[in-house]
Amino acid sequence: MQTTSEVLLIGSRREMSLNILQLSIVHRLPQSYRWKTGFTGSRVEPIANNDNSYENRLIGLKLLGYEGEKIVSIMDKLSQVLSDIDVASSVVECEGELCLFVSQHDELAATCRLKNCGVAIAEIMATHPLY
């Protein structure tokens, strides 16, 4: 059984963790990916744009504005936040940077959960003339 001070400490650690997430911005990678054959959960490869198979598609989220060990810590927290709602995710290096990958089937649940935790999702905006 935990004492009151232990519960408060755990609560304050979780709050600190959420505060870090609230300062985080992720960008959805423009391509879809899949697990590289024989490396499920550890390596990804891009899927060609004309490949219409939806079953094994992954989406990648790249953390913006951080470098070094801080990225590892925040990505682990993002992954934990998703596992709290039973969304499977993996932190994998892609194009030289750590990215968080989730199944395309879970994209809406994942982005909704991250937004609810205060993570900003950067989106590409198409610009069209107003006239």
Beta strands in the chain (DSSP E): 25-28, 33-35, 44-46, 58-64, 89-94, 97-103, 120-122
Greater model confidence, 127 or 69: 69
pLDDT digits (tens, 9 = 90+) for 89-107: 999 999 888 999 999 999 9
Using the structure block, give the residue that is written with the tokens 């994998």: 92
* pLDDT for 79 beyond 90: yes
Q: What residue ranges define each of the domains in the chain, with the CATH number in brackets?
A: 25-122 (3.30.70)
Q: How confident is the model at residue 112 (pLDDT cuts 50, 70, 90)?
A: very high
* pLDDT for 44 beyond 80: yes
Q: What is the pLDDT at residue 99?
A: 93
Q: How confident is the model at residue 25 (pLDDT cuts 50, 70, 90)?
A: confident
